[in-house]
């Protein structure tokens, strides 16, 4: 009855506030979700995403899928982050050496998106932000993978409102500001990755591009809007392979690519989710008690692009390691 994208029949995880961009993790045998906290504004929808004008983060947790959800309240506020001017967008969290790190994008005093880090002793926060953004960071949608050897990687990037197109030369170029990107059969813009230092607060070796290849080993091209990277990077590991999943933005798919190294390259492997209600689509993939789940959002609670709600669905792997929605 429902397409692989339809999710209107699934209940939101919470409905007392609007939530989006869910990054889910299992820490200490409990599921923690780090979403954006959408709020009502008078800002009209535009392709730069100005209507996503969020000012704080809540953390949620639950003992199991379907279990009671606890809202741990505001754990980090814009007014407490010295370098931020506005727009607390999609966060992620990671743990290492007994500390918990919340990574978040926001605009700096010049209106340029950067990525910050805030630290806590507990997964539910509250989190204390560093005074400055991570040096060398830019654009949006950080996602952190701590690999089995303890090395942490921060993936990030988002096109149009996320400003990735302004960084094609490695320096910010305001001529590319706004909803635009390269066109034609040249390479599409690529997401970025940086290895994180032992203290999780800086990049150790700068920032690199993450290659996403087609079936012939060529970079996906700019005009391939059904498959090229737009935003919402997420990396998880399954059977020693690295799965890089992401949103295609203006074509509204969640896709994924598979590789042998956390630095890539990754080869395009298919779609995870068809378009849902609302313009954006953003997700995370997490293993809970030997089953795998997709956390994502749609706008079924409000009917408005900037007031989203988080949902969860089971994912299955086939024998080739390809991902499929369970229902
Ligand atoms: O929530 C604001 C932005 O919308 C996120 O950073 C994007 O991934 C999109 O979901």
Q: What is the mean pLDDT of residues 275-281?
A: 97
- CB of 313 within 8 A of CB of 7? yes
Residue 19: name the closest of 57, 55, 68 by CA: 57
Query: Which residues have C-beta within 8 Å of that of residue 270, sequence separation ≥ 6?
Result: 255, 256, 322, 323
Domain boundaries, the chain: 4-325
CA of 282 to the centre of ligand 1 (A): 7
0.95 surpassed by complex ipTM: yes
- CB of 57 within 8 A of CB of 102? yes
Model pLDDT for residues 207-225, shown as the tens digit of each residue: 999 999 999 999 999 999 9
β-strands 212-213, 266-273: how paired?
Answer: parallel
Model pLDDT for residues 224-258, shown as the tens digit of each residue: 999 999 999 999 999 999 999 999 999 999 999 99
User: Which of 19, 107, 232 has most ligand 1 atoms within 8 Å of CB, for mutation?
Assistant: 232
What's the gap between Cα 126 and its chain centre?
A: 21
pLDDT at residue 1 is higher than 50: no
Query: Taking all residues of the chain, what is their mean pLDDT, rounded to a whole number?
Result: 97
Is the pTM of the predicted complex or chain greater than 0.95?
A: yes
4-325 topology per CATH: Tachylectin-2; Chain A (2.115.10)
Residue 314, pLDDT score: 97
Enumerate the active-site residues. Answer: 21, 231
CA of 90 to the centre of ligand 1 (A): 6
> What's the rounded Cα separation, in Å, for the pair 120 and 95?
10
> What's the rounded Cα separation, in Å, for the pair 73 and 62?
14
Residue 2, pLDDT score: 42
Q: Counting Cβ atoms within 10 Å, is residue 151 exposed (0-12), middle (13-18) or buried (19+)? A: middle
pLDDT at residue 150 is higher than 60: yes
CA of 43 to the centre of ligand 1 (A): 16
Residue count of the chain, please give it: 327
Report DSSP letters for 7-54, one per residue: -TTSPPS--SSEEEEEEEEEETTEEEEEEEEE---SPPP-TT-TT---
Ligand 1 contacts CB of residue 282 (under 6 A): yes
> What's the rounded Cα separation, in Å, for the pair 7 and 131?
40
Ligand 1 contacts CB of residue 141 (under 6 A): yes
């Amino acid at each position: 009855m429902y397409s692989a994208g339809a999710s209107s029949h699934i209940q939101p995880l919470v409905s007392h506030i609007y939530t989006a961009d869910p990054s889910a993790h299992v820490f200490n045998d409990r599921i923690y979700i780090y979403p954006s906290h959408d709020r009502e504004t008078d800002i009209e929808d535009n392709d730069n995403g100005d209507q996503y004008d969020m000012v704080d983060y809540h953390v949620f947790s639950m003992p199991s899928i379907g279990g009671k959800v606890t809202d741990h309240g505001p754990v980090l506020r814009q007014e407490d982050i010295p370098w931020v001017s506005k727009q607390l967008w999609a966060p992620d969290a990671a743990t290492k050496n007994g500390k918990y790190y919340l990574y978040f994008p926001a605009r700096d005093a010049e209106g340029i998106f950067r990525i910050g880090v805030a630290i806590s002793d507990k997964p539910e926060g509250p989190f204390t932000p560093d005074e400055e953004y991570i040096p060398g960071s830019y654009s949006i949608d950080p996602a952190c993978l701590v690999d089995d050897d303890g090395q942490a990687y921060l993936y990030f990037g988002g096109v149009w409102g996320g400003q990735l197109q302004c960084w094609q030369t490695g320096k910010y170029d305001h001529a590319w500001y706004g909803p635009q990107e390269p066109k034609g059969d040249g390479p599409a813009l690529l997401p970025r990755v940086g290895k994180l230092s032992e203290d999780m607060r800086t990049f150790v070796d700068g920032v690199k591009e993450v290659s996403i290849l087609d079936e012939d080993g060529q970079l996906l091209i700019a005009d391939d809007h059904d498959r090229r990277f737009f935003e919402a990077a997420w990396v998880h590991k399954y059977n020693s392979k690295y799965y890089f999943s992401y949103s295609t933005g203006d074509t509204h798919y969640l896709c994924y690519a598979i590789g042998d190294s956390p630095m890539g390259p990754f080869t395009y492997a298919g779609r995870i989710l068809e378009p849902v209600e609302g313009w954006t689509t953003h997700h995370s993939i997490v293993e809970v008690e030997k089953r795998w789940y997709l956390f994502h959002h749609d706008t079924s609670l409000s009917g408005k692009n900037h007031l989203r709600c988080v949902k969860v669905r089971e994912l299955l792997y086939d024998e080739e390691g390809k991902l499929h929605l369970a229902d």
